[in-house]
Amino acid sequence: MPLTDTAIRKAMPGPKTRKLSDGKGLYLELSPAGGRWWRLKYRIAGVEKRISLGTYPETSLKAAREKMEEARALVAQGIDPSQARKAAKQEAAHQDEQAQREAQGLPLHGSFESVAREWFDTRKEEWAPTYAKKIFRRLEADVFPWLGRLPVPNITPPMVLDMLRKAESRGAIQMDAAASPQIEAARQFSYTAGRCESSSPNNL
């Protein structure tokens, strides 16, 4: 029999944890200390699992049922609601971190600038100081302003060509011969170092 708000309010905790079922796997768990937790029992890939949907009365009976239907819809698609929740939290944390880095003027994680700076740090000891400075100046002046914020897998040959033309238009000579190999080297570094998920970047 489905729960009602009246029945929930009248329910008293006992010496052991109690479960008040609402149907479709949704139930209210009453702890001996008086806590009231909404739980959803579901099965995915043949495994029985449970997920918390909030506390009562902060999460009302109506809200708990809505969350239950949302979770069941995910299960119907073969998606584990618990894993989906973790992924959403991780994405939110990632977005917060990216926003903080942007506010501090730092390159975003996964962006070409972030990867290129890391690549430069791994290679600069192999070069003469004057050559290393020249390489980095090219990146800062002619590459980062146009490609720096882009995720590495999103950078295409036409984008690089457009960047080279912009550099040439401002009088940066030999950009085609100098910058393009550096861009490709940084991109390749991002894949071999595991900074990007794709295993086969398109060559520039």
> Is 202 inside a domain boundary?
no
Residue finishing a domain among 31, 57, 80: 80
**3-state DSSP percent of the chain in helix, strand and coil, to 5:** 55, 15, 30
**Residue 55 has what pLDDT?**
96
DSSP state, 24? T
Which of 111, 89, 108, 90 lies closest to 99 in space, CA to CA? 108
CATH code of the domain containing 29: 3.30.160.390
Residue 54 and residue 71: Cα distance in Å, rounded? 13
**Residue 30 has what pLDDT?**
96
CATH code of the domain containing 168: 1.10.150.130
Residue finishing a domain among 56, 80, 104: 80
Q: Could you tell me the mean pLDDT of each successive run of 10 residues in the chain, 204 residues long?
A: 92 92 96 95 94 96 97 95 91 78 71 86 88 85 84 82 78 53 58 48 47
Number of domains in the chain: 2
* pTM assigned to the model: 0.54
Which of 115, 105, 125, 128 lies closest to 182 in space, CA to CA? 115
For 163, the domain range is: 112-192
Residue 155 and residue 164: Cα distance in Å, rounded? 13
DSSP state, 155? -
